[in-house]
Structure 1
Amino acid sequence: MTDRTPPRRRPYRLLSRRSWPEAHFLADVLRAETVGGGLLLLGAVVALLWANSPWRSGYAALGEWVPWSGGHGLHLDLSLAAWAADGLLAIFFFVVGLELKREFIAGDLRDPRRAALPVVAALGGMLVPALCYVAVTLAAGGTGLRGWAIPTATDIAFALAVLAVVSSHLPQGLRAFLLTLAVVDDLFAILIIAVFYTADFHPLPLLAALLPIAAFAALVQRRRTWWWALLPLGALAWALVHASGVHATVAGVLLGFTVPVLSSRDGRPGLAERLEHRWRPISAGVAVPVFAFFAAGVSLVDVDLGGLLTDPVVIAVAVGLVLGKTLGVFGSTYLLARFTRAELDEEITWSDLLGLALLAGIGFTVSLLIGELAFGAGSAADERVKAAVLLGSLVAAGLATTVLVRRNRVYRRISERESRDSDGDGVPDVYQEETR
């Protein structure tokens, strides 16, 4: 009598190795983000030193200087700090838009099984920190509830900079997961900003912005990369979105979404990948570090440190970043594995994932931006938010480093094995083993 028992399905491996083309693409992205993270860290340190030096008035005056006072009619009479937050960060979000579309069309997020993990982890990594923030502020009387979204964002550049400092050789699955988690995280952050932090909405400019966005889309869909046409259309779309009351960085995302991902010619990178390759260095090397320079300058001169560290908003943000992010990312991943047939990849342990979850608690760029939108740039509450984000990110980075350094030797051995190319064809042997 034959055995009719169906064969046991092989469990799906969480954080498993990606395909070689995807791994090669991610390696380029990670290198750019790591360098950008170092520049971001440099900008933040310079801002902190200047803001607490005898010349701190010069730092404040620089951020408050309005280059074009005649732009009031177009809502463009912005200070340098506002231009950094509203203007330069639009470049950052344009790259995010390109990255998001590529991941969902041609990247690993097109596979529902691969997409499930970063999406679930990102949701958990945003929901739990928000709940931690709300719980702390409600326990203190409800002061500062408007800032509930501050600890929900992960700064990928800052997190990768920490990895570079500790010289960690994380398995590719973990490094790719951190990047993908941050991409999905950014998508939800964009939605939060658009829905919850648009105070004064004007529909007509927003409707008018659809015209330059449509013209931009028509050109890129035909692979017309005329900078003399695309840049003015992008600037006009940004200005109209800004005038509508919606945060202007949303314009960058919308423009990024219009760019085609797949190439019309086989073997050539799509336009989204080429534009991302061109604009990522500007985003990571200029836009984000300059924003960090203007946003991170917290002056602690004559500040009651005891009162600062006991402030409900400061505690709520720090708890959300350190505890909330870790519980959200690690816990959601564990539950996904617990209640499905998925298992961790053989090269990865739960200790590795704990270190990654702690790294996700490094919030900077988007966290500072949401703090400004929630409490107003330059307000007393905004200054406390900056201090809290810096404090929480520093603690999260320190804890993550402690965990990951212990695994450093294992990561190095894995990295050396994966980089072998004994046949000299340019593709590491580990990517060929499954097809032999």
Structure 2
Amino acid sequence: MSKIIDTAHVFFFVVGLEVRQEFAHGALRDTSRARLAVIAGVASVALPALVYVLVVGAAGAEGIEGWGAVVGTDTAFMLGALAIVGPRLSGQLRVFLLTLTVVDDFLAVSIIGIFYSEEIRIVPLLVALACLLALWLLGRSRQWSAAPYVLIVLGLWLATLSSGVHASLAGMIAGLLIPAYPTRRHKVVAARQLFRDFWQSPSASSARAVGRGLSRGVSVNERLHEYLRLPTALLAVPIFALANAGVDLRGGLLVDSLGSPVTWGVVAGLVLGKLLGIGLATLLAVRLGAGRLPEGVGMGSVFGGAALSGIGFTVSLLIIGLAFGTTSDLGRQATLGVFVAMVLACVLGWAIFKVAARRWGEETADLPMTLEPPVDPEVDHIRGPEDAQLTLVEFVDFECPFCAHATGSWEDLHERFGDDLRYVVRHLPHHPHGPIAARAAEAAANQGMFWPWLDFVFTRQHALERDNLVDYAVELGLDVETFTEDLDSAEVAKRVERDAASAADSGAHATPTFFVEGCRLLGSYDARTLTAMLESSRRGTRTQEIPA
């Protein structure tokens, strides 16, 4: 059992890191979506426990104390099952399920501590709480180095193991306390200068300075997540499986279990309780306006994910061991119920996903991947031949520090592909000065000056107030009176809104977002990556990275 706890600490730490990123600069910045996941998470604990109590209690059988076995979801196995039986693209559904399972597992671990822990050691528990406080203070101090966080997390792990509290609880909270934030442009610029120093005078000290500068540019959360993500995925699930590989069915246990209210209480609680708890709570919350589903996720996909949440496995087996003991008859009957529920949950989830795809068109549960509408030379701003072999579309915000004209990627691409590439820009204003800057670009476009304006203003991102934009119009020789009229016109505003609607329909929610030959690019968008994608498109061998 200790192997389960040790591995659970690491796995749930990684889960906590990922959820913190989503809250900081991902889908869960929207409080209504985060609130929906919390509502579903609470329901996914309450209804399964109620179902178990009703099934076992109605039979008047012993074993009612095992109700905690059905409250938790095994996140590792649930996500693995989602990757196998879920939609081809399920990134947004995955984030939703991750968030509600954090709530689910937090409550489950709290239940273990309150109802199933025989001995809580106060001193190690206080040490663990002190470690959590230290993590919070470290994050507040904007400490960029990962080493202090790692040391405190190791201390937290040891203290939690000694305290008698389930290690996954501490792991999740620790991950949520590691700070995450979007990469800041000035940190990237500083790292570039350090690399230039190393280029001009290579030495151990300048190399160390480059490493430190690069680390400062990316949040501790993302760096730790990158280091731990793959090892955790490769090791956590196998260790979970090996630690719980078998259940002894000798001595007529199988026949006894099939007639045991405890077995069927576990099956009903995990399979029906999770399905109805998450599914109905989400549906009701959405209908009442208490929360919003993630973009690209339909209710059919939610019910499919709810069914997969019936995979209790690790947490369920842990509580069964605490409630009954793993070698008792009740313990073995409940354990068999967990395995039966695991199989049924996967089959039920697969069936629901298939029905959702066929009847409601929910073939994906993620943001769209295809550019909508396609490039139209009559409407879009195109640099390069209109009939060029390759098309690169970028959604930009004039205040975005990472868009291609700000970073120089476009210059590299144009040098490489020349007239074989047409470059299209669409607006996605989401920074404070983005809307007025986008309208100003369209006002300049009305005078045939979109591209000169783009090149000029991207070098002046620090000054995008209205007066600044009018001054730029003067410097570029535009008709200022016409420019200011167009800047406030409904026609120009509608043109920018068209691009913003295109971004939403195409799955672009931040800048820069690139589309290579009409397919949204995931991951890195540096000039080397864009060049490789365009080259593979030209050869007809382009592949698109699909997130797990």
TM-score (norm 2): 0.56
- The alpha-carbon distance between structure 1 residues 261 and 348, as it changes in their structure 2 partners (threshold 3 A), is closer
Q: Give the number of equivalent residue pairs.
A: 353
1:20 is aligned to none
Residue aligning to 2:109? 190
Question: 2:27 maps to which residue?
Answer: 108
| 1:306 maps to 2:255 | yes
Cα distance in 1 between the residues matched to 2:121 and 2:296: 52
Listed as ranges, the matches of 1:349-364 within 5 Å are: 350-364=299-313
State the Cα deviation string for residues 34-91 of structure 1 (Å, max 9, x = none).
Answer: xxxxxxxxxxxxxxxxxxxxxxxxxxxxxxxxxxxxxxxxxxxxxxxx3312222211
- 2:498 maps to what in 1? none
Bigger Rg, which one: 2
Pair 1:332 & 2:281 matched:
yes
Contact residue 19 and residue 98 of structure 2 kept, 8 A: no
Q: State which of 16, 20, 43 in structure 2 corresponds to 1:124.
A: 43
Checking the alignment, whether the CA contact within 8 Å between 2:12 and 2:171 is kept in structure 1 is yes
Deviations along 1:191-249, one digit per CA (max 9) or x if unpaired, are 333333322122122223455556666667522223xx765654443233222222233
Give distance in 2, aligned partners of 1:326 and 1:181.
Answer: 13
Structure with bigger RCO (C-alpha 8 Å, 6+ apart): 1
- Output one character per residue of 1:232-272: Cα deviation in whole Å (capped at 9) or x when no partner: 65444323322222223333334334422226844744211
Q: In structure 2, what is the Cα distance between the partners aligned to 1:153 and 1:298? A: 20
Aligned match for 1:153, one of 57, 72, 83: 72
**Letter matched to residue 317 of structure 2:** L
Paired letter, 1:192: I
Deviation at 1:133, TM superposition (A): 0.8
The answer to whether 1:418 aligns with 2:369 is yes
Query: Which among 206, 211, 224 is matched to residue 125 of structure 2?
Result: 206
Match of 1:140 in 2: 59
Q: Give the SS at the match of 1:424.
A: strand
Aligned to 1:61: none
Aligned residues of 1:100 and 1:187 also touching (Cα < 8 A)? no
| CA apart distance, 1:357 | 2.3
Task: Indicate if the aligned counterparts of 2:36 and 2:292 stay in contact, CA closer than 8 A.
Answer: no
Amino acid at match of 1:129: P
CA distance in 1, matches of 2:50, 2:280: 14
Q: CA deviation at 1:430?
A: 0.2
| Counterpart contact for 2:33–2:293, Cα < 8 Å | no
Residues 1:225 and 2:146 are matched in the alignment: yes
Q: How many angstroms apart in 2 are the aligned matches of 1:388 and 1:355?
A: 21
CA distance in 1, matches of 2:177, 2:154: 15
Structure 1 vs Structure 2 CA RMSD: 3.5
Inter-partner Cα distance in structure 2 for 1:334 and 1:365? 28
The structural deviation recorded for 1:336 is 1.4
Cα distance change, pair 146–105 in 1 and its aligned pair in 2 (3 A): farther
Q: Residue deviations 1:288-330, cap 9 Å, x none?
A: 3212211231122343322111212211110011111111111
Which ranges of structure 2 fall in alignment gaps of 5 or more residues? 189-216, 375-390, 396-502, 514-548
Counterpart residue number, 1:395: 344
Query: 242, 246, 261: which one pairs with 1:297?
Result: 246
What letter corresponds to residue 279 of structure 1 in structure 2?
L
Gaps of 5+ in 1: 1-81
Which secondary structure does the structure 1 equivalent of 2:249 belong to?
Answer: coil
User: Aligned partners of 1:320, 1:132: CA distance in 2, in Å?
Assistant: 5
- The whole-number CA distance in structure 1 between the counterparts of 2:247 and 2:256 is 15
Write 1 or 2 for the structure with the bigger share of helix: 1
Aligned counterparts of 2:317 and 2:299: Cα–Cα separation in 1 = 30
Q: Write the distance in 2 (CA, Å) between the matches of 1:283 and 1:157.
A: 10
Q: Distance in 1 between matches of 2:307 and 2:340?
A: 14
Q: Is the CA contact (8 Å cut-off) linking 2:82 and 2:305 kept in structure 1?
A: no
Q: State the identity as a percent.
A: 37
Residue in structure 2 matched with residue 99 of structure 1 by the alignment = 18
Structure 1 length-normalised TM: 0.69
Distance in 2 (alpha carbons) for counterparts of 1:173 and 1:291: 26
| Further displaced range: 123-132 or 162-171 | 162-171
What's the counterpart of residue 9 of structure 1?
none
Aligned counterparts of 1:289 and 1:89: Cα–Cα separation in 2 = 12
Taking the aligned partners of 2:172 and 2:85, their CA distance within structure 1 comes to 32
Distance 1:345 1:207 in 2: 38
CA distance in 2 between counterparts of 1:122 and 1:172 reads 18
Match of 1:370 among 309, 313, 319: 319
Q: CA 1:281 to 1:377, structure 2 compared with 1: closer, same or farther past 3 Å? A: farther
1:156-186 per-position Cα deviation (integer Å, ceiling 9, x unaligned): 3323333333363356543432333223323
Contact kept, 8 Å, 1:137 with 1:143, in 2: the verdict is yes
2: CA distance, partners of 1:360 / 1:430: 29
* TM-fit CA distance, 1:404: 1.6
Distance in structure 2 (CA, Å) of the matches to 1:343 and 1:88: 33
1:54-93 matched pairs, under 5 angstroms: 82-93=1-12
Match of 2:506 in 1: 430
Does the Cα contact within 8 Å between 2:124 and 2:160 map onto a contact in 1?
yes
Structure 1 stretch displaced more, 321-330 or 101-110: 101-110
Label 1:190 to 1:222 Cα distance change in 2 as closer, same or farther (>3 A): same
Question: SS of 2:146's equivalent?
Answer: coil
What residue number does 1:262 align with?
Answer: 181
Contact map agreement 2:153 2:174 (CA 8 A) in 1:
yes
Give the AA of the match of 2:99.
Answer: T
**8 Å contact kept, 1:262–1:271:** no
Amino acid at match of 1:252: G
3-state secondary structure, aligned to 1:206: helix
